[in-house]
Amino acid sequence: MEKLTSPRVIETILKKYDLHFNKRFGQNFLIDENIVQKIVKAGDVGEDDLVLEIGPGIGTMTQALSDHAGKVITVEIDKKLIPVLHETLKECDNVTVVQGDILKTNVKEILADDLSNMPLKIVANLPYYITTPIIMGFLESDLPVESMTFLIQKEVGERLCGVPGTKAYGSLSIVAQFYADISIDFEVPAHVFIPKPKVDSIVVTLKKLATPRIELENKELFLSVVKASFLNRRKTLINGLMMNTPFDKEVLLEVLEACEIPPGIRGETLTGSDFGRIANALNQRMDIAGDPIK
């Protein structure tokens, strides 16, 4: 049988099942076998691994994952693709297809028994419109995810890997790097998809840390401190915090001094651990109701 990466095969399947690419679901299918194999390799998928795939499409990468993994569970939102997947994956005994929205699926339940005895890796050519909620959802969940390898929009990949002082660095870099070591694997040109996406693409791997980089006393406060520091990149740290958090200047200055962080610097020069220390120190200055202690 010809490979599913062949545009001719894709066209035949679409015709047979009376399907059209659904923009609403971010459907851009891979048509390059080499890229598919490179993604599976970047995901470091082996025969002992349990792999969760998000958005199998017509099953192109699923077949490659099936060749290397112990078991593959793949979640597809588009009901019309399910009969296609049953045909294209009929020889892949280690694959289970689940129809559903990954953001609403109880992943623990569908991975069930396999979760306790196989390392979990997530590999996907993601639907770009929900990249951030998917990545943050898995980073913040208590699922024992070992790694995630995703084909995503290049700009989001650069933000995930952003380092202090660069344009790409922002709240997404800080929060994601709080939970994982993140690296860029390789860039992917638009011509390897059908239809071609209008944005550039990249493959990234996130290796989840056993515990977050710093223990947070109050996660909400951490997130609002990070957000406050990036709302206006030109403002100094102290001005950003004064304008966008409920704390007085006096309290903020005391806390920054205790954390040995100069108040006149810009928030974009701080690391995630710096923000964690500031948030933990500010948490000590709140009462039980969550209001700042005057």
Q: How far is the CB of 18 from ligand SAM (least distance, A)?
A: 16
Is residue 30 a contact residue for ligand SAM (CB under 6 A)? yes
145 beta partners: 120
Within 108-127, which residues bind ligand SAM (CB under 6 A)?
A: 125, 127
Q: Which of 102, 175, 188, 278 is the binder for ligand SAM (CB under 6 A)?
A: 102
For residue 96, give both structure tokens. 């289970």
Q: How many residues bind ligand SAM (CB under 6 A)?
A: 22
Is residue 57 a contact residue for ligand SAM (CB under 6 A)? yes
Burial class (CB in 10 A: 0-12, 13-18, 19+), 253: middle
Q: How far is the CB of 104 from ligand SAM (least distance, A)?
A: 8
Q: Which of 13, 54, 174, 279 is the binder for ligand SAM (CB under 6 A)?
A: 54
Is residue 77 a contact residue for ligand SAM (CB under 6 A)? yes
Task: Please say which residue, 101 or 248, places its beta carbon nearer to ligand SAM.
Answer: 101
Site string for ligand SAM, 198-237 (x = CB under 6 A): ----------------------------------------
DSSP string over 132-183: HHHHHHHHHS-S-EEEEEEEEEHHHHHHHT--TTSTT-SHHHHHHHHHEEEE
Is residue 29 a contact residue for ligand SAM (CB under 6 A)? yes
DSSP string over 62-100: HHHHHHH-SEEEEEE--GGGHHHHHHHTTT-TTEEEEES
In which region does residue 100 sit, left (phi positive, over 0), alpha (psi from -120 to 50) or beta (all else)? Answer: left
Going from the C-alpha of 118 to that of each of 46, 50, 51, 108, the distances in angstroms are 11, 6, 9, 13
Is residue 75 a contact residue for ligand SAM (CB under 6 A)? yes
Is residue 56 a contact residue for ligand SAM (CB under 6 A)? yes
Binding residues vs ligand SAM (CB under 6 A): 25-30, 54-57, 60-61, 75-78, 101-103, 125, 127, 130
